[in-house]
Amino acid sequence: MGSKRLEYLAQPKTLLISDVEPGNRYELVCTTEAGLVRYRMGDVVTCTRFLCRSDDLVPLPIDQEEIPRIPLFSIAYRIGSLLDAFGEKTSEQHLMDALQRTSQQWKEQGISLDVYDFTSYPKLDVFPPHYVLFLELIEEQNSKQEYKINEKNLQLLQTMVDSEVEQQLCQTNFNYNNVRKGSKLAPLVCILVRNGTFSTFLADILVTDRVSPTQIKPHRLLKNENHIQFFYANQINISSS
């Protein structure tokens, strides 16, 4: 008769809202009257600071002398949604910051475009591996400078976007920068997709997964091969002429 060995994982320490401190990240654990007990939601948040009287986010009583200890949070990432080939732990927030900085650079160059949405996956079947980012761009609303998404401009953007997003990601995630310096990862690749790609993708998810629109969260990390191929199929074909 074969033998087996059991190993045990210690329960992580949990904190109440009165125990959190600014600058720290926390995974959310939910208990409800409906029966959920210490349910790990998979969302990681950052406590940014405490509410102060100068804020207008929450109305406070005028005659209140002491402000209660109310922490403010920002969403950091979801568990399992990290790009982490060699311990670099690139989160959704790292990518968003890099793309926002890149978009700001474009505006300073007279390129009035915004990133409508994005997703990513680690391409591990090549050496060295690298990140692939799928980007859907839109013309900036209410911009004083008119910039059209045409073939000529797309050709220019395609020559710029890889290196510029790469540079910004190295600044937003120092671990990624260190891994890149060690040549374990190749530079990332950005693929521009057609307008409406993400809307179509989410509509398909609603039908195939039979979920409510309120339950859908952004797919920042693609793990399903069919999903990956969907975005490749919607890549903008930019001619070399």
What is the rounded average pLDDT of the residues 109-126?
A: 91
Whether residue 72 sits in one domain with residue 111: no
Domains identified in the chain, total number: 2
Q: Which residues have C-beta within 8 Å of that of residue 174, sequence separation ≥ 6?
A: none
Verdict on whether the full-model pTM lies above 0.85: no
Whether residue 188 sits in one domain with residue 124: yes
In angstroms, the CA 118 to CA 228 distance is 12
From 53, 78, 103, give the residue that closes a domain: 78
Asked whether residue 238 is assigned to any structural domain, the reply reads: no
Whether residue 162 sits in one domain with residue 121: yes
Whether residue 193 sits in one domain with residue 98: yes
Task: Please report which confidence band the pLDDT of residue 188 belongs to, taking 50, 70 and 90 as the band edges.
Answer: very high
Whether residue 66 sits in one domain with residue 26: yes
Angle at 190 between CA 161 and CA 76, to 5 degrees: 100
From 56, 78, 100, give the residue that closes a domain: 78
Task: Please report which confidence band the pLDDT of residue 208 belongs to, taking 50, 70 and 90 as the band edges.
Answer: confident
Token pair for residue 203?
A: 């509509």
Asked whether residue 239 is assigned to any structural domain, the reply reads: no
Host domain of residue 63: 17-78
What is the rounded average pLDDT of the residues 147-162?
A: 79
Q: Which long-range contacts (CB under 8 A, 24 or more apart) does 78-84 make?
A: 78/42, 78/43, 78/44, 78/217, 78/220, 79/27, 79/40, 79/42, 79/43, 79/44, 80/42, 80/221, 81/220, 81/221, 82/221, 83/120, 83/122, 83/131, 83/221
On the question of pLDDT at 64 being above 50, the answer is yes
Cα–Cα nearest to 25, from 93, 100, 118, 101: 93
Select the highest-mean-pLDDT range: 20-34, 146-160, 196-210.
20-34
Burial class (CB within 10 angstroms; exposed 0-12, middle 13-18, buried 19+) of 220: buried
Whether residue 132 sits in one domain with residue 102: yes
What pLDDT is attached to residue 222? Answer: 93
Q: Which long-range contacts (CB under 8 A, 24 or more apart) does 50-57 make?
A: 50/22
Residue of 133 and 46 predicted with greater confidence: 133
Share of the chain above pLDDT 90, in %: 42
Cα–Cα nearest to 234, from 198, 193, 190: 193
What is the rounded average pLDDT of the residues 72-91?
A: 85
On the question of pLDDT at 112 being above 50, the answer is yes
Whether residue 103 sits in one domain with residue 126: yes
On the question of pLDDT at 191 being above 50, the answer is yes
On the question of pLDDT at 194 being above 60, the answer is yes
Asked whether residue 100 is assigned to any structural domain, the reply reads: yes
User: Pairing relation of β-strands 189-192 and 130-139?
Assistant: parallel
Cβ atoms of 133 and 190 closer than 8 Å: yes
Cα–Cα nearest to 42, from 81, 78, 82: 78
Whether residue 207 sits in one domain with residue 141: yes
Burial class (CB within 10 angstroms; exposed 0-12, middle 13-18, buried 19+) of 69: exposed
What pLDDT is attached to residue 169? Answer: 98
From 78, 105, 130, give the residue that closes a domain: 78
